Amino acid sequence: MDAFRNDQTAEIAAVAARLVVEEGLEYATAKRHAGKQLGLSARAPWPDNLALDAAVREHIAIFCADTQPLELRALRELALVWMTRLDVFRPHLGGAVWQGTATRYSDIYLNLYGDDPKAVEWALLDQRVDYHPGSVPGNKGDAVDALTVRARCEALGQWVLVHLLVQDHDDLRGALKPDAQGRRPRGDTAAVRALLAPGEEEGVTS
């Protein structure tokens, strides 16, 4: 029975990983869609995020090892442009673009920190940047205000969504706590520049 559940968990992870890589879905959404595709119930042996992360990296290694590093670099370069533009808000890059699993279908997630959430909106208006207000899941799963910008990525020849997660300044300390594998969940401007330095390995962020 345990072997069957393990196989089913691996199957869910594989389907969800394909959705993450090929459609740019976030992990929670990808798992839900995978469950629907496989006709599973809520009692199914769902993979945790660590298992799904491993499946995503395996999918990339097998199916897009030639293209993914270039796409990842293009997204990191675009993220750095926006981090520089919004430097006053102590931007930190998170998500797949930071962790090294992003493809051309991935969005960019930037955490911004400050005392006045409206200040980010004023900064965008001053720069004549159109944005869409909304919310996305935050570090603790709760809804966090987000401003979404549609940015052109010339290296990929397409538009990319940049989500600006506006958070209180005091949230910054907890946002940098390493995960279960000791990896930093996000990085500041200097860290992103280091990833883009000549000779730096593309991919997994430690």
Domain boundaries, the chain: 2-63, 68-195
Residue 3: pLDDT band (50, 70, 90) is low
pLDDT for residue 205: 46
Give the whole-angstrom CA distance, residue 204 versus residue 206: 6
Question: Containing H/E element for 150?
Answer: strand 143-153
Name the pTM for this structure: 0.88
Give the tens place of pLDDT for each residue, 27-86: 988 999 999 999 987 788 899 999 999 999 999 999 999 999 999 999 999 999 999 999
pLDDT at 6: 75
Whether the predicted pLDDT of 121 surpasses 70: yes
With 80 as the cut, is the pLDDT of residue 199 above it?
A: no
Nearest to 166 by CA among 118, 130, 128: 118
CA distance 119 to 85: 14
CA–CA dist 133, 163 (Å, integer): 10
Report the pLDDT value the prediction gives residue 204, as an integer from 0 to 100: 44
Region 116-142: what's the mean pLDDT? 85
Q: Determine the average pLDDT of the residues in 102-114.
A: 95
Average pLDDT of every residue of the chain: 89
Superfamily grouping for domain 68-195: Beta Polymerase, domain 2 (3.30.460.10)
Q: Is the pLDDT of residue 142 over 80?
A: no
149 in Cβ contact with 164 (< 8 Å)? yes
